[in-house]
Amino acid sequence: MAYGMPSSESVRAPEAGARLPSRVEPGALARRLARWSGLFLFLDYDGTLAEIAPTPEEAVTAPGAVGALRRLIGAPGVAVAVVSGRPLAELTGRLPLSGLWLVGEHGAWVRYPDGRSQPLLEAGNVGAALDELERRAALVLGGRPGWRVERKTAGLALHYRQVAPEEAARLLPRIQDLWLRPMAVAGLEVVHGHKVLEVRPRMIDKGRAVKWLLDQRPGLRPVYLGDDTADEDAFAAVAERGGLGVLVARNSRPSEARLRLSEPAEVVRFLTALVAERTGQIHP
Ligand SMILES: [Mg+2]
């Protein structure tokens, strides 16, 4: 294998048990969940509740999503959480809903339904290592346009959606080579997302966060909707807890999720149908 293949890299590719999820209609999925006595609904944000945009700032919550979530939060026997790689403050601004659980930075932070927030899993002190990764990325990128390092409290994201694919293919391995040693020393790992490299502490992933939230609300059965590699841990976690994973993707691909919706607009149709099923209210 190439010298540069980082050993501390964790490509959250679906595991051997992964298979192609079955296509499901939004209404059919809602009817299926109507029969569950208690439901904990987990949703990723980017690519699930919002279409992927050229930059994270430009992403917009899908029309109708906030209203449907507000009504679901009030439904009997339902808890709702949004689980994202974004920092909590960004999620709070995009989803101004009381009663919603929020998980930020892949599980490093949680905001309770009453608005309190706390570190969810101990990330350790990774600040100096993240500084070093930023410095090393800058050595390779040298101010090239299109690349963006987003610093978070317990990780960082290297966005390259606006970079030509050939340039990304050429420079990403060099950056990852330079990151290898400081990441290993600090216990950090890389997860490949849609045109983004996410660096985060090994201890943190969405699957652990989902299990922690389920432990706070025993008796609820989980459903998790997500679109990206980082969601695979959560799909596996809900399967382990007797729940259901739903991949949001226009094209099928192997996943730990068992079902598939095609896009955020379909997620909104599912949420709206679920409101009707669980509250008896029909909203246009
Ligand atoms: Mg996503």
Residue range(s) in the chain whose domain bears CATH number 3.40.50.1000: 22-121+204-279
CA of 84 to the centre of ligand 1 (A): 7
Q: Kindly provide the b/e burial profile for residues 25-60, where b requires at least 16 CB atoms within 10 angstroms of the residue's own CB.
A: ebeebbeebeebeebbbbbbbbbbbbebeeebeebe
d(CA 51, CA 32): 25
CB 254 within 8 A of CB 267: no
- Beta sheet of 78-83, edge-to-edge order: 22-23, 259-261, 244-248, 221-226, 39-43, 78-83, 101-104, 109-111, 117-119
CA of 141 to the centre of ligand 1 (A): 26
Q: List the catalytic residue out of 44, 227, 231, 233.
A: 44
CA of 193 to the centre of ligand 1 (A): 8
State yes or no: is 44 an active-site residue.
yes
CA of 3 to the centre of ligand 1 (A): 31
Nearest CA-CA partner of 231 in 88, 83, 112, 100: 83
Between β-strands 196-201 and 188-193, what pairing exists: parallel, antiparallel or unpaired? Answer: antiparallel
CA of 95 to the centre of ligand 1 (A): 15
pLDDT 10s per residue in the chain (284 long)?
A: 233 333 344 445 555 568 999 999 999 999 999 989 999 999 999 999 999 998 889 999 999 999 999 999 989 899 999 999 999 999 999 999 999 999 999 999 999 999 999 988 666 678 899 999 999 999 999 999 999 999 998 899 999 999 999 999 999 999 999 999 999 989 999 999 989 999 999 888 999 999 999 999 999 999 999 999 999 999 999 999 999 999 999 999 999 999 999 999 999 999 999 999 998 766 54
Angle of helix 26-34 versus helix 264-279 axis, rounded to 10: 30
- Beta sheet of 148-151, edge-to-edge order: 148-151, 156-159, 196-201, 188-193
13 three-state secondary structure: coil
Superfamily of domain 22-121+204-279: HAD superfamily/HAD-like (3.40.50.1000)
Residue range(s) in the chain whose domain bears CATH number 3.30.70.1020: 127-201
CA of 50 to the centre of ligand 1 (A): 9
Residue 240 burial (10 A CB sphere; 0-12, 13-18, 19+): middle
What CATH code would you report for 127-201?
3.30.70.1020
- State pTM to two decimals: 0.84
CA of 164 to the centre of ligand 1 (A): 22
48 three-state secondary structure: coil
